[in-house]
Chains A and B, each alone.
Chain A
Amino acid sequence: MQHDISYNILDESALEQLIERIPKRYDLAEKPACEVTRIFLDSFDWRLYSGGVRLWVEQKHGATALWQTGVPNTASSVRVDKSKPVPVTADDLPSGALRDKISQLLEMRVLLPQIEVKSSVRTFAVLDDEKKTVLRLSLEESQSRTPGEGRYVACGSRLRLQPIRGYPEPLANINKIIRKQSDLSPVTDGLFEQAITAVGGELCPYSSKISFTFEPTMPSVVAVRDIHLHLLNIIELNVPGVKKNLDSEFLHDLRVAVRRMRSALTQVKGVFSKADVDRFKARLAWVGQVTGPTRDMDVFLLEFEQYRACLPERFRSDLDPLYDFLVSHQQIEHGVMVKKINSPHFRTLVKELRLFLENATEQSGALEAGTPIAELANKRIYKMYHRVMKRGQAIVDDSPAEHLHDLRKECKKLRYLMEFFRSIYPQKKIGRLINSLKRLLDNLGNFQDLEVQADKLRDYARQMVEEGETPHDTLLAMGMLVDGLLTKQQQTRSEFAERFAKFAKSDNQKVFRSLFEPNNKKGKG
């Protein structure tokens, strides 16, 4: 299959020159000029772009169509219903390979307009002796802007050669002529990339992932300040999406950033003064608390289909009242949460944090502020690792659940520390340790989450009864779910010993020692 070929073109005179040089055996028919508006869509964290897919809505001659590139075995364009021209979720797309791929990439995220491109298009059909179109040449002059905002900015002109299947010769012939024309250079970026660059935007501007590059000798305060600022940026960037309740991932990312920041604040000791740490610690914990109930509802809604699938087919519809309860209460909890996020308490916290971080220097007087970051990271990671090992080794088959929950907290702290300072260590070795820790954390996480979910379901059942008439069948179906969750939790518990043993194996211990043991020079990169 042949693909479009595009060239940068400065002005129409280059096109006129090209037209003159097209062999006489082809006729050219100019189509009526038109204006095309394209709105490119992606999730907030650019999942489609990262997955190699571009999706856009195109308006031409008053008709709207959805276009895509990057999803094989599916149409490049689909006409869309005028009543819902811009899809928001994968479910708004027609069924088939396109929807499957987009849904797989987006997961729970919604589509947001990322950039708007307006192009004036002149098209010429290259015709053979039957007057059949065998190639299309078009000149597109484009301008772009952030969707719905401000003025358009020019983002270049391009000459597009659009081949027609089964007619390779005209494309090859005309492309050969163009390549000889010095004022036309092949386009390397797609229209989407050009449009983003023209408005001063960045490709993939947001990621919730942690990735820092620190020099081992860097003063600790600089590294730790960077970590906090990055996390604060994530919090602030997600606030608008959280308020609008666009999708559950905004709140999830915000909460993870808050959790990481609390961990960094308390675990990387001595870099900031104790008074400053105390000033922010409790207030960050408050953010975790006020956002918790909405997240709980989100988790249930995200996993609702899985819950339904756990029940035998004939009982599945009994869960419908639970779904309605979750949807309405998610909205109620969301409203309560937004009030807290709009409160002066939250706004002052964010403002004060930024002011504090931007002014944090070695001169702040804290004990470890000037310590090289590698030294401090070794100390903190190694200490936390010991704590994890001690707690983990103390757990036996009949240890109470709290012991596992406490171990999970320590493991999380250890994971965050290792992720923050990953760049200081040999990547392969630390990567292996983080993965091993993640596998242990999965087990501990499932163990606790299943219990929390079972408890929550019982709470919801009581609440539903209090609020009105809940069918008995719904309560029975919820009981079946609780039973399933607790059975699964027991199964997870029985797998703990093996998971911990894998994490604590002597190979890992050696690597932990060689990487983090203070004053151990072996194995450090």
Chain B
Amino acid sequence: MRIIGVYNIKGGVGKTATAVNLAYLAARSGLRTLVWDLDPQGAASFYFRIKPKVKGGSRKMLRGKKELDDLIKGTDYDGLDLLPADFSYRNMDLVLDESKKPAMRLLKLLRPLSYEYDLVFLDCPPSISLVSENIFQAASALLVPTIPTTLSLRTYLQLLEFVNNNRLDHLKLMPFFSMVDRRKKMHLEIIQQLPKRHPEMLASHIPYASDVERMGTYRKPLLDYAPRGWAAQAYEQLWSEVCGSVVCQ
């Protein structure tokens, strides 16, 4: 079982859209896939029309009193399941802090699922906290959607520094450009310049497209309702890059 975190310190960069669409593509290729919606806002759960509710809340779940297995919901797509969000996730940091080895808790909870799933996407809340530290420990790769703006770059550098200072050698950072607006000069310049300094940048770009925004209206993965659009093709490309370097190794 491979675990991929989709993360950025900054919010509103397309994390959930990435997790949902890549998970859809992974399941379509035959991988048993789980999305864990860790964001208390529950956007991934919303896209899959699943109520953002976990019986017993995060406290019971994190203490291991409620097995993750019992909380999983099937989506409308074969081979693709979701562990829904819950509003109590907003206090997850506090509950994690109460447990032994707080940074390893999520990994411990996920381990029993390794016989059921080939791939897990963690849709992470923004900011650096104990929750994100857990994600860094559990995941073998971190997809970092990055808007080609100076502010976004700053947050990526912060993340890079954190990873380097915390001996997270197992974690493969996979930043990629998200919400790219080719009409903006700054976007184009950064797209040209940044990969030279950061060769870990993936080649695929996700465009800023109304198709992606409509996920909230359709409440479906983009690939389901607009499979031939630019944005869908971009996600297909991104998936083949991720699959080649993380999943199908």
A residues in contact (CB < 8 Å) with B: 65, 73-79, 94, 96, 125, 130-133, 164-167
Contact = CB atoms under 8 A, between A and B. Distances in A.
Nearest to B32: A75
Contacts of A75: 30-32, 79, 118
Given A75-B31, A75-B118, A130 B76 contact: no
5 contacts: A77-B78, A79-B29, A94-B30, A132-B76, A165-B72
B51 interface: yes
Complex A-B, nearest 5 residue pairs according to Cβ-Cβ distance, in ascending order: A78-B30, A165-B74, A166-B73, A132-B49, A164-B74
A10 B51 CA distance: 38
A33 to B, nearest CB: 18
Given A130-B51, A131-B49, 13 more contacts: A65-B30, A73-B116, A74-B32, A75-B79, A75-B118, A79-B28, A79-B30, A94-B30, A125-B76, A130-B49, A130-B50, A132-B50, A132-B76
Contact of A167 (B31, B73, B78, B118): B73
B109 to A, nearest CB: 17
Contacts of A167: 73-74
Contacts of A77: 30, 78-79
A451 B217 CA distance: 74
Interface string B8-28: 000000000000000000001
A74 B48 CA distance: 23
A165 B51 contact: no
A96 B31 CA distance: 10
A75 B32 CA distance: 6
Contacts of B73: 164-167
Contacts of A96: 118
Interface in B203-231: 219
A161 to B, nearest CB: 14
Given A94-B30, A165-B73, A76 B78 contact: yes
B86 interface: no
B81 interface: yes
B81 A165 contact: yes
Given A79-B28, A79-B29, A73 B49 contact: no
A94 B72 CA distance: 26
A77 B31 CA distance: 9
Contacts of B219: 131
Contacts of B71: 166
Contacts of A94: 30
A27 to B, nearest CB: 12
B188 to A, nearest CB: 36
B31 A166 contact: no
A77 to B, nearest CB: 6
A148 B28 CA distance: 29
Contacts of B78: 76-77
Nearest to B83: A166
Contact of B74 (A73, A78, A125, A166): A166
A137 to B, nearest CB: 14
A78 B79 CA distance: 9
A132 B31 contact: no
Nearest to A65: B30
Contacts of A165: 72-74, 81
Interface string B29-70: 111100000000000000011110000000000000000000
A73, A75, A96: most-surrounded residue (chain B CB, <10 A) = A75
A137 B32 CA distance: 23
Nearest to B114: A73
A65 B27 CA distance: 12
A65, A73, A131: most-surrounded residue (chain B CB, <10 A) = A73
Nearest to B30: A78
Contacts of A79: 28-30
Given A78-B30, A165-B72, A73 B48 contact: no
Contact of A73 (B29, B50, B81, B115): B115
A425 to B, nearest CB: 46
Nearest to A97: B115
A133 B29 contact: no
Interface in B121-180: none
A78 B30 CA distance: 4
B116 to A, nearest CB: 7
A89 B219 CA distance: 41
A131 B47 CA distance: 11
B42 to A, nearest CB: 12
A76 B76 contact: no
Nearest to A78: B30
Contacts of B48: 132
B30 to A, nearest CB: 3
A125 B74 CA distance: 14
A73 B1 CA distance: 11
A133 B79 contact: no
Interface in B67-104: 71-74, 76, 78-79, 81
